[in-house]
Structure 1
Amino acid sequence: MRSIQGLLSEVAYLQRSCEYLMQNLLDVETVANNIEYLDPLQESMVETATLQNASAIKGEIDLAARLAEHWKTAIEHAAG
């Protein structure tokens, strides 16, 4: 079934993308854990970067989760 092969190919791609995201998040965590001291300007820069980036990533992840649920529901309905 060509449609199922295409679906599974897309799922595999998205799973690899999630793994890439997880690795990047682990890298951010490693960098943070290796910081020993920040002056007030650096504190502010880290805080700003965290607020901006974490918020954007959370929004995208929440949207992606809702889309995956919608996708699953659509497949379930199509398969009857």
Structure 2
Amino acid sequence: MRSIQQLLSEVAYLQRSCEYLVDALQHIETAGTHLQELDPMQEAMVESATTEAVGAIKGHLDIATRFAEEWQTRLQHI
């Protein structure tokens, strides 16, 4: 039973982490919709920040998804 309790605890932690991510993304979306006309320098700054952040986040999400799928597969074979 200890292993099941640990599994459920870890899943709850990861779900909360995902909720925090969704919350952060919603704040970013709100900030983006409130941006006014940008000068070329600001445009470049937004593009750079977006490219860097999205690349890192997508990479981590892809890896996390693969790990979760592997975990699910391992549990199904027990």
User: Structure 1 residue 76: deviation in Å?
Assistant: 1.1
**Partner residue, 2:30:** 30
**Partner residue, 2:20:** 20
Tell me how far apart the structure 2 counterparts of residues 39 and 31 of structure 1 sit (CA, whole Å). Answer: 17
What are the superposed Cα offsets for residues 26-79 of structure 1, whole Å, 9 maximum, x if unpaired?
00000000011110000000000000100110000010000000000111112x
**Partner residue, 2:39:** 39
Q: Secondary structure at the match of 1:19?
A: helix
**Partner residue, 2:62:** 62
Equivalent pairs counted in the alignment come to 78
Which aligned runs of 4 or more in structure 1 are off by greater than 2 angstroms?
Answer: none
Tell me how far apart the structure 2 counterparts of residues 50 and 69 of structure 1 sit (CA, whole Å). Answer: 28
Tell me how far apart the structure 2 counterparts of residues 17 and 67 of structure 1 sit (CA, whole Å). Answer: 15
Tell me how far apart the structure 2 counterparts of residues 24 and 37 of structure 1 sit (CA, whole Å). Answer: 23
Give the TM-score, by structure 1 length. 0.95
How much identity, in percent, do the aligned residues show? Answer: 58
Tell me how far apart the structure 2 counterparts of residues 72 and 48 of structure 1 sit (CA, whole Å). Answer: 36
